Amino acid sequence: MKKIYFIAISELIILFVSSCGGNSGSTSTSSSSGGQSTVSGAAVYNRSCITCHQGTGAGIPGAFPPLAKSDFLADKEKTISQVIKGYQGELVVNGVKYNNVMPPQQLNDEEIAAVLTYVNTSFGNSGAAITADEVKAVRSKLR
């Protein structure tokens, strides 16, 4: 009985690992092909941002600032830099002070463009799309 459990569990692990591998593989091929982006901003959000900023983009009061109706997003360059470099220290969103840490996000230009376009057009936001070229330009200034 124990053995059967073990086999079932290890099979689940293998399934999980191989499905993850498949996903990241397709992401990198699409991003290296240039031209039209097929990266899903929603998928990047659900993978990289949702734990802190939440599914509704509302964040968590006192800890994680909202992306929903955030006035911070009006500054494209600051927003892109926030995701590339992360941020530590005082930051004000919609008049509310936060003083926490956001780690730098290990995402490529296309993924950042896709996720920020998703953020800008979700959660009741009506901001502009962000392109991979804009992300690239900010990244080169930060180096």
Which residues sit at the interface with ligand HEC, rule CB under 6 A? 48-49, 51-53, 64-67, 70, 72-73, 79, 82-83, 87-89, 91, 93, 98-103, 105, 115, 119
Rg (CA), the chain: 18
1 vs 101 by CB, closer to ligand HEC: 101
Pair 127, 95: CB distance under 8 Å: no
14 vs 54 by CB, closer to ligand HEC: 54
- Smallest distance, ligand HEC to C-beta of residue 129, A: 14
14 vs 74 by CB, closer to ligand HEC: 74
Task: Report how far apart, in Å, the C-alpha atoms of 128 and of each of 8, 46, 52 are.
Answer: 47, 20, 23
Q: Distance between CA 72 and CA 16 in Å, rounded? A: 37
